[in-house]
A = this chain, B = another copy of it.
């Protein structure tokens, strides 16, 4: 109890606000309902308790808490954790957020010791701490989820290293490539997402606790101790910024936008490939959806949802950015409203990654249909032009020549491969019978062993590179997870 003598600490009665000294009467019920944030807070109660635990230990170190008080706080927090875990926490009307609900409950459980926990702390720095802890975990989990998708794509690439695929530009057949080369493009896109998330993590990794409402505290708190206890490598360098900043949330949301966007690009391809007209992929029945009306339907809904959710995450980013715009320092309640988009964006993105891993592992590639399309001789028109270049024809001229040949073939209703040597000769003296041997999609790939290209040996090296990246991503996940409280 208090050194202030026999006077009894009277914590506010159940439901009264922490500031009942200053503001008379009860909060208007409409305002309670409108402003409470408990639903969202429940997604990071673990972080809130971890922060309180570290804060309490620091208060013990500097002598604000006695050993007995610390013990009773820690026991109280342990009990609260169990209650929250089991969804049995006794919320009361007036618990407007997780911070005040926990403090109220702690006072019930630990008496005056509980009433000391908020010493030298404000909800402003407390919520900033909770969100940074939550965001650190989310970033790490997202990297793990991406690595999983990458692993599936690499496995499917290995299965289909030889599978020919038409490369498209403008959704028009362009040049032959392979399914492996195509899937590895998606692996590269996802790798940038990992890197972005890890960069965002570096900037999230700074403890705001100790910033108080905005100006720290007049008590001799130790910000470094708290930071270390929670696995932060640094503390936020300016107390005003520490409570006013949500860059880490916006940056993480943006990283989610790109993850979701990359997912949407793959999803769009799968929707198109699953059409009767393309027929490049087929979903196992367990991964497809039927129609309530049309008995024959088998729909790739999962990819449509993945595609659509890229829009949802973008909406989340816009909401958060618009909310932050033009806010004066330091804390404003608007900041509370930047949290739901963060939570939603992270959740939707993580779920999308899990779905992508599962469905890309399950999908069947119809490599015969792909190969059939890839063997279209038109896809080798560029090879003919480059063949002419090797014979000294300036490229632009070679391009025009082959363009004319294409037109001629179309007019005659034949493919480029059907034109006779004599026709080629007429078109250009440099083009002769040797042109015909170019119409071989596999040969075209072997001619493309340049770095990054679709040549079989190059793709083999790309697979090794991809596996290396995945291992590195996973190692990062392990290291950063170990530091989470």
Contacts and interface: CB of A to CB of B under 8 A. Distances in A.
A389 B17 CA distance: 20
Contacts of A301: 35, 170, 333
Contact of A170 (B112, B238, B271): B271
Contacts of A5: 429
A390 interface: yes
Interface string A212-242: 1111111111011000000000011111111
A150 B27 CA distance: 24
Q: Taking the full assembly, how many copies of this chain does it contain?
A: 4
A396 B4 contact: no
A245 B325 CA distance: 20
Most buried by B among A5, A21, A218, A379: A218
Interface string A286-297: 111111111111
Interface string A271-297: 110111111000001111111111111
A418 interface: no
A319 interface: yes
- Give the size category of A's interface with B: 35 or more
A297 B22 contact: yes
Contact of A277 (B216, B277, B354): B277
B406 A450 contact: no
Interface in A394-430: 394-397, 399-407, 416, 428-430
Interface string A98-116: 0110010001000011111
Contact of A188 (B199, B237, B376): B237
Contacts of A218: 382-383, 386-387, 444, 447-448
B269 A329 contact: yes
A107 B396 contact: yes
Given A305-B337, A328-B268, A399-B21, A275 B171 contact: yes
A118 B391 contact: no
B213 A295 contact: no
Given A238-B184, A327-B265, A177 B214 contact: yes
Interface stretch (A38-46, A87-95, A137-145, A309-317): A309-317
A257 B393 CA distance: 49
5 contacts: A171-B275, A261-B324, A267-B326, A309-B337, A311-B325
Given A295-B399, A296-B381, A307-B334, A216 B428 contact: no
B237 A465 contact: yes
Interface string A359-390: 10010000000000100101101111111111
Nearest to A313: B319
A276 B322 contact: no
A44 B86 CA distance: 30
A85 interface: no
Nearest to A395: B119
Contacts of A386: 119-120, 217-219
Contacts of A341: 312, 315
B382 A295 contact: yes
A272 B2 contact: no
B168 A402 contact: no
Contacts of A338: 308
Interface string A185-219: 11111001001100100110000001111111111
Contacts of A327: 265, 268
Contact of A429 (B4, B123, B217, B387): B4
Contacts of A340: 312
A64 interface: yes
A326 B188 contact: no
A435 interface: no
Interface stretch (A75-83, A247-255, A473-481): A247-255
A379 to B, nearest CB: 8
Given A9-B394, A324-B261, A389-B64, A23 B288 contact: yes
Contact of A297 (B174, B184, B239, B291): B174
A168 B328 contact: yes
Contact of A321 (B216, B243, B261, B307): B261
A293 B23 CA distance: 14
